[in-house]
Amino acid sequence: MRYDLDDLRLFLDIVTEGSITAGARRRHLSLPSASARVRSLEHHAGVALLVRGRRGVRPTPAGTALARHAREVLERTARLESAVASYARPRTAPLTLLGGGSALHRLVPRALVSFLRAHPDVDVTVSESRTPRTVRMLAAGEADLGVVVDDEARDRGLDTEPLGDDSLVVVGQAGGILADRTALTYSEVAEHPLVGLDAASSLRRWIERHLGPNAPAARYRTTVADLGTLVALASAGVGLAVVPRRALDPDQRPLDVCDLREPWARRHHLLAWGAQARTSPSAPAVEALAAHLRAAARTPPLPNGGSPPLV
């Protein structure tokens, strides 16, 4: 036999409410119409589906089985309708978001989680990019938003706003070299074995540019591709590491954290807008993504320098 989806929805409402009257009300049907639909279901099934009493109705064993399968059918129907409808919605080009390694470690992922959940019809392309390249792409209209470092993005003609602190610190094994220290210069840091990011990473290149040619030679025991691995190595005692404070994760093993006593270690992130970002058809989506980035940046660091995990 063929089951009408509206009849199945009505039957589930009746079973949920324990009353044909209440089920009819949820479906915006009259009581006689709802009763007729239930009788039709029972006629086609060839078995009673409801036990009727003075205080309402309850499903028979057959009715319980019908309700269980009806839920599955309606859930699958909803998924089918959603999948087909997605092809009917006009597709827009993905938003383009650029940021350095520091921003892409915790700030951008946190914002993406909340944004993509809230906007299932908007896609986002994310790429790691050093601030000079990000500035060029934003100015050329080749990206919508970028998270850039303040001293490299000032006075470039971009629409920018403060996003948050991204100062650098020195981290090492708890109770090790950094014990009882509150701050070190880079020269002091370089006296010890280090672990660092790959030479091509945006943060590593930013640090080396500010050190200049006369910087003390550092011994890197190893270099890695991401900040999470770098902090884990430092906390395990492999070597000291220079990282953004916001890269620290409170769920990792304890570690010692010291300020890096260098003028260039005090830096801030800016949110920079592309040249056409506020006037393009995607402007509402770009503004929404910007709002999620602002919210992620406002999440305060924990006392030990970390920040809450992604949720």
pLDDT of residue 87: 61
Q: Are 76 and 16 members of one domain?
A: yes
Residue 157 burial (C-beta neighbours within 10 Å; 0-12, 13-18, 19+): exposed
Show which of 88, 109, 126 is a domain's final residue: 88
pLDDT band at 236 (very low <50, low <70, confident <90, very high): very high
pLDDT of residue 309: 37
Q: What is the pLDDT of residues 3-26, one digit of tens each?
A: 889 999 999 999 999 999 999 998
Q: Are 259 and 174 members of one domain?
A: yes
CATH number for the domain harbouring residue 253: 3.40.190.10
Q: Are 224 and 291 members of one domain?
A: no
The owner of tokens 């998924």 is 79
pLDDT band at 106 (very low <50, low <70, confident <90, very high): confident
pLDDT of residue 2: 76
Rounded to the nearest 5°, which phi and psi values hold at 261? -85, 70
Does residue 205 lie within any of the structural domains? Answer: yes
Domain of 202 in residue numbering reads as 168-265
- What is the identity of the amino acid at 57? V
Q: Are 259 and 271 members of one domain?
A: no
Number of domains in the chain: 3
pLDDT of residue 96: 96
Give the global pTM: 0.63
- Which of 282 and 306 is assigned the larger pLDDT? 282
Half-sphere exposure of 23 (CA within 13 A, CB side): 26
Q: Are 59 and 198 members of one domain?
A: no
Contact in structure between 170 and 257 (CB atoms under 8 Å): yes
d(CA 31, CA 134): 64
Examine the pLDDT at 90 and tell me if it is beyond 90: no
Q: Helices then strands (H, E): number in the chain?
A: 12, 13
Does residue 239 lie within any of the structural domains? Answer: yes
Does residue 310 lie within any of the structural domains? Answer: no
Q: What's the Rg (C-alpha) of the chain?
A: 30
Q: What is the pLDDT of residues 21-64, one digit of tens each?
A: 999 998 899 999 999 999 999 988 899 999 999 889 999 999 99
pLDDT of residue 234: 94
Q: Are 64 and 189 members of one domain?
A: no
Contact in structure between 119 and 288 (CB atoms under 8 Å): yes
Q: Are 242 and 292 members of one domain?
A: no
Does residue 82 lie within any of the structural domains? Answer: yes
Q: What is the pLDDT averaged over residues 225-249?
A: 90
Q: Are 63 and 152 members of one domain?
A: no
Q: Are 83 and 101 members of one domain?
A: no
pLDDT of residue 91: 59
Q: Are 103 and 133 members of one domain?
A: yes
Does residue 293 lie within any of the structural domains? Answer: yes
d(CA 64, CA 186): 72
CATH number for the domain harbouring residue 49: 1.10.10.10
Q: Across the beta sheet with 168-173, what order do the strands follow?
A: 183-184, 255-260, 168-173, 241-244
pLDDT band at 105 (very low <50, low <70, confident <90, very high): confident
Bridge partners, 147 (sequence order): 99, 271
Show which of 54, 88, 122 is a domain's final residue: 88
d(CA 253, CA 172): 11
Rounded to the nearest 5°, which phi and psi values hold at 218? -105, 145
Does residue 311 lie within any of the structural domains? Answer: no
**Angle (nearest 5°) at CA 285 between 283 and 288:** 110
